[in-house]
Amino acid sequence: MEKITITNPYGDSLTFTQGASGYMLISRGDLGGTQIINTQETGYQQRGSTVIQKRYGTRVLNLTLGIKAVSENDFKNRLKQIQRLFEAEYTDRDDLSTFTVKFESTGYQSKVTQCFLRETPTLSNKREDRRGFYQRMFVSLLMFEPVWKDENNTEILLESIINTFEFAVDITDSFEFGSLQEEGLTITNNGDMSSSLIIEFNGVATNPLIENVTYGESLKLNTTIADGTVVKINTDYNNPTVEVDGVNAFQYIDPNNSDLNMLLRRGDNLIKFSTDDTDPATAIVKYKKTYLTPLGDY
């Protein structure tokens, strides 16, 4: 069984379920990743043809939805809820509104993606699609980043390496861990693509440094984080942020030792965390595995 949950920018949410009454998921388009289209061109006096690949960074998600109600009032109420769900087209800043789409399928972990609404839902006027308390409709969404991500973060707890190469990890049920090495911790990203990171440094910590030794990337702060203070860094490509207790703190980034778009690459990543302190400090690394299709992880 498949389910798709759509949430608009204001928090309104509806779940459409395959093979069920109420809000119905009748069919959905291709859920795959980035489109690659091959074209062929032949130049002057060229023997044979040249294949040119065009890669599209967005993807259309077409859904056929339905309402199956038990009474006229039930039908009108359900239709009203769908109209309310899709009414948000623009934010207060006149930007396109972002919808969150969650896909669930039996045997797979749920995945989410971000979309724009391409056009308002179209109600089918065909007799077989509109009878009694049944109505079929069509919705077209645009995935502006053609990937699906885990619904929840994977979290890794690190303790800083000091001069003796001590590297301790406090294991709890809510965290995931890689293989411990003298130089750090190997984290294996099983997604289809690299993932951006959320890094949290917890005070006390002096000049904390996170390194992806495998790929030569790092993030360093030139400051002492006080006890009870949390510094949060988000390396998202579109909106990187550095905050101290929720306040912008880009000024603490060491420009000579920082890749603000640091990634956790697909496969093994050797991660090292260190500070200038004589006692170990702690950091939490969070990421969401990223897939080209929501049917990418059992």
User: How far from chain centre, in Å, is Cα 98?
Assistant: 13
DSSP structure string for 135-198: EEEEEEEEESS--EEESS-EEEEEE-B-TT--------TT----EEETTEEEEEE-SSB-EE-E
Residue 294 φ/ψ, nearest 5 degrees: -70, -10
How do the pLDDT tens digits run along the chain, 298 residues long?
899 999 998 899 999 999 888 999 999 987 876 656 566 666 656 666 666 655 556 788 999 999 999 999 999 999 999 999 988 655 555 556 789 999 999 988 899 999 988 877 899 989 889 988 999 999 999 888 888 999 989 998 887 765 434 444 444 444 554 444 557 888 899 899 899 999 999 889 999 999 999 999 999 999 999 988 999 999 998 889 999 988 999 999 999 989 989 999 999 999 999 899 888 888 899 999 999 888 866 5
- Domains along the chain with CATH numbers: 2-146 (2.40.30.200), 154-291 (2.60.120.860)
Give me the residues paired with residue 104 across strands.
3
How far lies 125's CA from each of 26, 130, 149, in Å? 16, 6, 36
Sort 24 into a burial class: Cβ within 10 Å, 0-12 / 13-18 / 19+. Answer: buried
Q: Is the dihedral of CA 18, 19, 24, 30 positive or negative?
A: positive
d(CA 219, CA 272): 11
3-state secondary structure of 80: helix
Residue that is written with structure tokens 């023997």 in the block? 47
